[in-house]
C-alpha cells in the first residue's frame, strides 16, 4: 500500500506556521497559533470523511443534505500533541478523545510509553494520531502501533512539521497510514530535533521552556 503525504499549502497555514516558529512568541500567542494551525490541519486531514444523506427542514422548506458517517477518535501523543486538540475539536466537536503518553529516551532515542487508557476494544472507525513534531519518527511509529493494537483499521498521523527522516520511518513501518503536515522541514540536528522546526513544542505550549 502506497502511503500518502498531504502538505497543507494554504496561505494561512504558511502565515501562521511562520509566526509559530518565531522563538520570541510568548506561550499565550503560541497556544492561539497552535489551535488555529490545528484547525487548518483538521480540515486537510478530514477531507475524505464518509458521509450519509440526511433530510432537514429549514425555516422555508425541507431539503436533503449530508452528515458525517462514522465515529472519529482524536489521539494526541502527550504531551506536545495536547496542543492540537482544541483545533480539531473546533472542526469536529463530537469526536472521541483518547490519550497515549510517550517520550523519546534522550540517550537511546527509543520511545517509552508511560500512559495508555484505551478500552479493551476500539469503538471508532478512523483515528487521528496527533503528534505536533514528526522528528525521527520513533514515537509516532510506536503511537500508531498502539492504536493499531487497539483495533483501529484506518489511521492518519497529523503533525505541524515533519522531517524527511521521520516521514521515511513512518512510511517504512506503516505504509497504510496517511501523514498530514503543515511543512516538511530540512532534516534533523545531531540530537534529533527538527531543523528549522519549532523547537520543543510541549515546552513552548505549556510555558516550561
pLDDT digits (tens, 9 = 90+) for 40-91: 999 999 999 999 999 999 999 999 999 999 999 999 999 889 999 999 999 9
pLDDT in tens, 116-161: 878 777 789 999 999 999 999 999 999 999 999 999 999 999 999 9
The mean pLDDT value for 19-35 works out to 96
Distance CA 51, CA 53 (A): 7
In this prediction, residue 113 carries a pLDDT of 83
Grid cell listed for 58:
429549514
When pLDDT is cut at 50, 70 and 90, the band that residue 3 belongs to is low
8 A C-beta contact, residue 1 and residue 179: no
Residue 2 reports pLDDT greater than 60: no
Of all residues in the chain, what percent carry a pLDDT higher than 70? 99
Residue among 37, 38, 34, 15 at smallest CA distance from 26:
34
| pTM for the whole structure | 0.93
Per this entry, what is the length of the chain? 209
Per-residue HEC secondary structure of 95-107 comes to CEECCEEEEECCC
Report how far apart, in Å, the C-alpha atoms of 101 and of each of 81, 97, 112, 115 are: 10, 13, 8, 4
Close Cβ partners of 108 (under 8 Å, ≥ 6 residues apart): none
Amino acid at each position: 500500500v502506497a502511503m500518502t503525504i498531504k502538505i497543507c499549502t494554504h496561505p494561512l497555514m504558511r502565515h501562521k506556521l511562520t509566526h509559530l516558529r518565531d522563538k520570541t512568541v510568548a506561550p499565550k500567542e503560541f497556544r492561539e497559533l497552535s489551535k488555529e494551525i490545528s484547525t487548518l490541519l483538521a480540515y486537510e486531514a478530514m477531507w475524505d470523511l464518509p458521509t450519509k444523506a440526511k433530510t432537514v427542514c429549514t425555516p422555508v422548506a425541507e431539503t436533503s443534505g449530508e452528515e458525517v458517517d462514522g465515529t472519529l477518535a482524536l489521539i494526541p501523543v502527550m504531551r506536545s500533541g495536547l496542543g492540537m486538540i482544541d483545533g480539531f475539536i473546533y472542526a469536529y466537536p463530537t469526536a472521541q478523545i483518547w490519550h497515549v503518553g510517550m517520550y523519546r529516551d534522550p540517550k537511546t532515542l527509543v520511545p517509552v510509553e508511560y500512559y495508555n487508557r484505551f478500552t479493551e476494544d476500539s469503538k471508532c472507525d478512523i483515528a487521528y494520531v496527533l503528534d505536533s513534531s514528526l522528528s525521527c519518527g520513533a514515537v509516532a511509529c510506536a503511537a500508531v502501533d498502539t492504536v493499531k493494537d487497539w483495533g483501529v483499521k484506518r489511521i492518519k498521523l497529523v503533525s505541524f512539521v515533519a522531517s524527511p527522516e521521520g516521514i521515511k520511518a513512518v512510511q517504512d513501518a506503516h505504509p497504510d497510514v496517511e501523514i498530514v503536515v503543515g511543512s516538511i522541514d530540512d532534516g534533523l540536528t545531531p540530537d534529533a530535533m527538527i531543523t528549522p522546526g519549532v523547537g520543543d513544542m510541549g515546552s513552548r505550549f505549556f510555558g516550561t521552556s
